[in-house]
Amino acid sequence: MSGGNPSHVVVIGAGIVGVSAAIWLRRAGIDVTIIDREVPGSSASTSYGNAGVLASCSVAPVTAPGMILKSPKMLLDPNFPLFLRWSYLPKLTPWLLKYLSHANDKETRRISSGLAPITFDSTDQHAALIKGTDAEEWLVNSDYSFVYPSRAAFEDDHYTWMLRRKAGFEPDLIEGEAVREFEPNLSKDLNFLAVMHDHGYVRDPGSYVAALASEAQKLGAKIVQAEVKDFTLSEGRVTSVSTSAGELSCDQVVLATGVWSGPLAKKLGLSVPLETERGYHIVFRSPEGAPRTPLMVTSGKFVGTPMKDGLRCAGVVEFGGLEAPASKAPLELLRRKVLESFPNLTFEKEESWLGHRPAPSDSLPLIGEIKGSGVFAGFGHHHIGLTAGPKTGRILAGLISGQRQNIDLSAYDPSRF
């Protein structure tokens, strides 16, 4: 069901998806109010803390074939960047069983085919969103390289590269001493690069999202700092949202609050198997000996990105819910892997961060109208939030304004579970 001609849309969530949707809605002449309990781009928001890469080639889900057999070993290996707060396991188990049910060839290919249409043109989508805005200063076009110890390690990763090639991504391969010419600061233990061209990164994701929110305001959107509590429906259609700042009438809603979207979706009768994947980063301030372009160091499962405030290294997965404080072990492992990979790295100080990636059990986001309610889901982007956020926002704005979509959205159907 398309949105028609709404008079007022409430966008719940001021992350990359929400602010992108708001800008495209305002460009279509639709009144918009953005509601978030945090200031757009603040360190409390998930969009603030990602690795900053526009990873167009990110079409391979974590749940690859063989993961079920490998998972116990991964969890018990102190050198593998997967952590679990064991006290959280009883609550995690129902989601985890659904998640692991996709760790087979057929499902992995299906999920990859669903990821490709919303990631492949990421740099173009970001460029279209930010053209002529203050957000332009934060975006850099660049290569994005996958770093391996050796050609053999790269070839061991053949299944993932098969999925990327199927989506149209073919890397340039660099080996041996040429690796040091390309990136002088890499460890001599890392001797193989698979370089993806025509990618990009954001030099400060928090400032980027803040600039986009400011652009939405310049276009006439209102921003309200409040918490959304509930929806009011009439004959199954949304008529207002209840917030900590009062009732706000509307005739369409975009629900884009990441992992916090689950409880609100449940109020509409939609039960989503959605977990938080606790993600960490460390920023090494005023670095020397850092990489020049974004690198995914496969042996450490982290991305190192040169940013305005220093070298941001993001990675590590922990399952432990929304409430627990940051754990020491993931940060210690990330720090060790970074210093092994960049042995020349020096810096003035470091700052760490913990955020919450929204992980649906099938690794695909929810994009589209929830049960004809006038509430449109735009959440659950797992590892591709920044990459696919602008396109998702544009799709949602098109659905709400009644524009015909040239993308098959069935893979992202909110009611698929």
DSSP, res 138: G
Summarize pLDDT for 358-407 with one digit per residue, the tens: 999 999 999 999 999 999 999 999 999 999 999 999 999 999 999 999 99
Contact 278, 320 (CB under 8 A): yes
Beta strands in 181-236, from DSSP E residues, in sequence order: 192-202, 222-225, 228-234
- Tell me if residue 209 falls in helix, strand or coil: helix
Average pLDDT, the chain: 96
pTM of the model: 0.96
Query: What is the spatial order of strands in the sheet that 222-225 belongs to?
Result: 222-225, 31-36, 8-12, 252-255, 375-379, 366-369
| Per-residue pLDDT at 1 exceeds 70 | no
| Per-residue pLDDT at 4 exceeds 60 | no
Contact 405, 397 (CB under 8 A): no
CB contact set of 12 (below 8 Å; sequence gap of 6+): 18, 35, 36, 228, 241, 253, 254, 255, 256, 257, 261, 264
Confidence tier at 2 by pLDDT (50, 70, 90): very low
- The sign of the CA dihedral 212, 213, 214, 219 is positive
